[in-house]
Amino acid sequence: MVLQRIYRFGQRFVGFMGVFTGVRLVSSHKQKKEFIRSKDLSSQGSVSSSHAFSWLGDIAPCFGINGNNVQIIDEPKHFHEVLKSNARKATQRIVFTSLYLGTGQLEQELVDAIREACHTAKTNGNNNLEVHILLDYNRGSRGAEKSSRTMLTPLLKEYKDIISVHLYHTPDLRGIWKRLLTGRMSEVIGLNHMKIYLFDDSFVISGANLSNDYFTNRQDRYVLFNNCSELSNFFTDLVKTVGSFSFQLKEDNSVELHPQCNIHPFEGSDYEFKLEAKKEFSTF
């Protein structure tokens, strides 16, 4: 009875939040089972724990992973060290998406770790390394002299053939709202809030931004997935897809729309922009 209630609440909650995409993680070393669909669960007297949320598989991509490859990071300082050490060792890809990147010393250490990976790739003749960073346009642009953008422009100057930085701007912040809602107030309309920190075939999913507080004393959730190539490919494609209808940061700290984006997010038609984005995700 309790599991039935949890199951039904989960259905209502996901529907209310408008969650159309998600990931079900199952341990690959376990034998696959045929999951009971949601329409069958309602007719049963009880719902087993293994089947309670199987209905998510009807509306979301599913990936098999080995539970032994999942590691919980327990504190902010460890989170910071994991990001730096994995970034330095990356040889194929570094993919970060966050609300913003802070402007302090600890954030600079992370940028330097990415720079080290790029330098190593250049020195060793490795042409395979790609770095993709996606931030929110408004939050990443905040700051007159120092901002997320100014933290990353030196990297773009040094390794423009390796690094791309994209800034997502919600199409809902436009017109009079864009003129009236400045600074932090603009964030109430919409923003990029994904937190994925990926290195080659491993990645961290977290609620933490890339900033001093989250690296020192602001506790959050951090889960490290090691050697999950299929899921890493999925998240890489996700970040690239959002980047394809975002602004692209240039070496001089100016921005331009991604070449594939034909509709301006806040000067063009918001309906057409959303329709185009929907098409990108439908094929994705």
Q: Which of 244, 277, 218, 243 is nearest to 80 (CA)?
A: 218
One-letter-per-residue 3-state SS of the chain: CHHHHHHHHHHHHHHHHCCCCCCEEEECCCCCCCCCCHHHHCCCCCCCCCCCCHHHHHCCCEEEECHHHEEECCCHHHHHHHHHHHHHHCCCEEEEECCCECCCHHHHHHHHHHHHHHHHHHHCCCCCCEEEEEEEHHHHHCCCCCCHHHHHHHHHHHCCCCEEEEEECCCCCCHHHHHHCCHHHHHHCCCCCCCEEEECCEEEEECCCECHHHHHCCCCCEEEECCCHHHHHHHHHHHHHHHCCCEEECCCCCEEECCCCCCCCCCCCHHHHHHHHHHHHHHC
> Rounded to whole angstroms, how far apart are CA atoms 143 and 151?
11
8 Å CB contact between 118 and 162: yes
166 in catalytic set = no
Q: Which of 51, 84, 136, 200 is catalytic?
A: 200
Q: Which of 193, 240, 258, 264 is catalytic?
A: 193
169 in catalytic set = no
For 201, what's the count of Cα atoms within 13 Å in the CB-facing half-sphere?
7
Q: Which of 51, 84, 195, 201 is catalytic?
A: 195
8 Å CB contact between 40 and 4: no
178 in catalytic set = no
> Rounded to whole angstroms, how far apart are CA atoms 158 and 204?
26
Q: Which residues are known to be catalytic? A: 193, 195, 200
